[in-house]
Amino acid sequence: MAATLVSRRFTAKDEADAIDLAFEKGWSDGLPVVPPTESRVRAMLDAAGLAPDQQIAFIAHRAVPVTAEKVAINAVMAGCRPEYMPVVVAAVEGIGDPRWSYHGPGTSTAGAGVLTIVNGPIGRELGFNSGDNLFGPGWRANLTVGRAVRLVMRNVCGSRPGTLDRGTLGHPGRLSYVIAENEAESPWTPLHVERGFRPEQSTVTVVAAEGPRQFYNQLSSTAEGVLTTLADDMRISGTAIGQPHYVLVLAGEHMRTIAQSGWGKKEIRQFVWEQTHNSHAHLKRTQRMSGEVQPGDEARMRPLVATPDDILVVAAGGRAGAFSAYIPGWSSAKSSAAVTKEVKR
């Protein structure tokens, strides 16, 4: 006998009425949702092999348990196919991990999104986009999985704009912010393998992150040239507090140029870390650090992140075009760490 679903039931005349009900109740992110009928919710649970009452995460600051049933309901509303459910579950596990520190990025005025990076075979099997229009529309897996995570935050954890969610500006990635690494064409070790998983495992890495910032370099034929442009742009993007992470997304042309110079991810991280320090004098002059400029401040340096390993390098984006991007992590004295979780099937 199937386990009972315990969520409150509502009656609607038809699908259109159900969609309007979701708007009325505040369950929507501003777009129409798929009505979460019992059969649809059960299909989600079955696809992940989960009982409705199984706890997926516990949001400590809110004292909120997140059950599989609640995740399934929001995955349905987001438009996910049932086979996407294990990916949504892994991402929810990630944001519930104490290292991700939900309360900060979930409530801060800085308005972080949940950047979710998919690695491993599941990315290819389910059609997650790792190429052209990487952060844009057009791929159901990317858009609905990210949307499901945000709906869980809204409807289960209470992160609604104007109440718990106090983002001053927010950014479009707060609707959905999912990419896959282009492991098929990358010359480098995949992100999840760098973070301790086997190549054949599928994972998601969740990062509390600002929006992507694109940079352009069509002139350089060396790794140092491309990354010097990146570092010059990136150096002034941080705060005096310091971000816990930066994500570098290197697309096809830049990826090939850097690889042809013999540079791997380790060399990329080290170079960018060294080239993005700011002097205390510069930070004070630009009003990002308090106090008057003192003797020695020109030589006293502060990095954007604590160590080179806090820079995550991902090969993704279109094969053509001399564009790549960097993504600052959510900035706070109480940082949120990037968390990688296995997708269990």
Q: Which two tokens stand for residue 17?
A: 């009425």
pLDDT in tens, 142-158: 999 999 999 999 999 99
Region 71-78 average pLDDT: 98
Strands (E), 42-103: 55-59, 64-67
Average pLDDT of the residues of the chain: 95
* pLDDT higher than 80, residue 20: yes
How high is the pLDDT of residue 240?
Answer: 64
What is the pLDDT at residue 10? 96
CB 195 within 8 A of CB 98: no
- Between CA 154 and CA 137 the distance in angstroms is 22
228: left (phi over 0), alpha (psi -120 to 50) or beta: alpha
Q: Tell me the residue type at 182.
A: N
Q: What angle do CA 56, 1, 54 make, to 5 degrees?
A: 10
Give the tens place of pLDDT for each residue, 235-288: 988 776 678 999 999 999 999 999 999 999 999 999 999 999 999 999 999 998
Q: Report the distance separating Cα 217 and Cα 220, nearest Å.
A: 7
pLDDT for the residue numbered 151: 98
pLDDT digits (tens, 9 = 90+) for 176-199: 999 999 999 999 999 999 999 999
CA pair distance 145, 143, nearest whole angstrom? 6
Averaged pLDDT, 110-118: 94
Name the pTM for this structure.
Answer: 0.96
Q: Reply yes or no on whether the pLDDT at 333 is more than 60.
A: no
Token pair, residue 156, equals 């289960």
Would you state the structure tokens that stand for residue 324, as one six-digit string? 């790549």
Q: What are the structural domain ranges in the chain?
A: 12-210+333-345, 211-328
Q: Are 209 and 108 in contact (CB under 8 A)?
A: no
Identity of residue 298: E
Please tell me which residue, 10 or 166, carries the higher pLDDT value: 10
Span 211-328 CATH architecture = 2-Layer Sandwich (3.30)
User: Per the structure block, which two tokens stand in for 162?
Assistant: 């104007």
Q: How far apart are CA 148 and CA 69, in angstroms?
A: 13
- What is the C-alpha to C-alpha distance for residues 104 and 14, in angstroms, rounded to an integer? 39
What is the model's pLDDT at position 332?
A: 63
